[in-house]
Structure 1
Amino acid sequence: MTTSTKLSDRSLGWLRYIHRKAHTPDDWSKEGKPHPHWDDRSDAPMASWPRFDLIDSSYAMGLMAQTTPAWREPYVAVLDQLLERHTGWWSANDWLTQFGDDPNRKDYPDMYRFLIPPELWGNYDAPGWTANGVEPYGIQMDPVAADGMLFYKGFFLVMLGLRSMIATDDRWNEPFKMIRDGDNTFEWSHTAIAAHLTNQWKDKPQGCHCENTKVWPL
C-alpha cells in the first residue's frame, strides 16, 4: 500500500476554502454574530448551531497534517481561528438561551416524532433543546463546568487535541477566557477541560448529558 505524500486537487481546494473561511473576520461575542458562512441550518434540531461547523471543519486539518506534515503552520493557523471562535458566546448560544423546558414542545413538526417516545409526544423536549436550568441541575452558565453540554466540551477537546497533535507549541494549555459575557466569563485550559470531563465520567459511569436529561449511547 502506497502512502500519499501530497494533497489531491480536491483537498487543496478544500484547504483553500477552509483557510479563507476561518480567516474571514467576524464576531462570536454576545454583541456580535458569526459570519453567515458558518452553517447554523443543517441537521436540525440537534446540530443546527454554528459551533458544529467549527468542529466539522477541524477534522480535515488533522487528516491533511498526516499527509503533508511540513505544512504544519497553515493547519495550526486554521485550527487557532476555529478554537478562538469556540471560546466565544456564540459557541454556546443554545445553552445560554434555552432555559427550562421548551415552550414549543406541543408544536413540534411531525418530523420530530422519530426523536421522541410516542407516549411523551407534546410533553418532552426534542433533542437539541439544551434545557439549562431544569431540575435537579439548576442554571449553570459555564457550558464546560455544567452537568450537561457533553457535546460542547467533548468536541472542543477533539479540536484542542488535533491542534496539540500538529503544533510545536502548547498555546491552549495556557489559561484562556471563555464566553466573555461580563460575570459569565470562565477560565479554562486544554488540560483543565480534559481533567474536568474525566471526573464527570467517573462520577456518572452511565454517561454525561449532552442536552440536560439526555445521554447518547454512541
Structure 2
Amino acid sequence: MRRTTRGLTAIVILVVWLSVGTGAFAGGDFVYRPKFALSGPIASNLRWTGSLEPKITSDAQQAGEISLVGGLWWKPMAHVTVEPQFKYVTKGKDGNSNESRPRISLELDDKAGPFKIAVRNRFEYRMKEHKDAYWRYRARAKVKFPKVARVTPFLYEEVFYEFGDKDELDGNEAGVGAGIRLGNRLALDVDLRCRHSKHGGRWGTGDIHLLTVLKYDF
C-alpha cells in the first residue's frame, strides 16, 4: 500500500511538472532522440562509457544529426561522481559545421528522506568548424522518486550559460521521466523534456524532446 501511494504521488508530481513545462515552452518542434549507451568496468570505482544518439525531427535544418560520446565514469568517494568525456556531433544536412566538444562533469548526490537529489555541474568546450570556439556551463538539479517495482521516476531542471561573445544565460530544460530496470545488465530511461533557447538575444519557442536511452552494462 505504501509503495502504491508513493507511486501515485510521484505520478501526480511528474504530470504537474510536465504540464508547467509544456505550458511554458509549447509551440516549438518535436524531436525524438533514441540513444544507445554502453559501459564496462576498468576498476571498482572506474568505468568506460560510450553512446550513439541520432536526432529525429521534422525540422529540416536539424535532420540527420548524430552524436557520438566516449569517456570515463569515476566515483572517487561516496556521493561524488566525475565524468570526463568527448562528444562529436555530425550536423547532417543542415549546412552548419560539425562540432567537437570535450567536457567534464562533477555530480554531487545525497538522500532527502525517500528522495535522491543530484546536482551536476558540467563545463564543455564547443568547437564548431569554421566558427569561434567557446565555453559553456550547464547546471542540473535532478530528483529521483522512490522505486516502484522496477521503475524509478525522476524530474530535473537544467540551465545553460554561454561564455564568449554572448556571456549570458542562453537556455534551460525542464524534464520528467523514469528509469526502468529490464534485467541485471539492461536498463531503459524514458525522458520527456522541454528545451527553451535564446537566439539573437530573444527567447524563442521551446522544443519538446523525447529521449529514450537503452543502456547495457558489461
* Structure 1 length-normalised TM: 0.28
* Structure 2 length-normalised TM: 0.28
The structure carrying a bigger strand percent of its residues is: 2
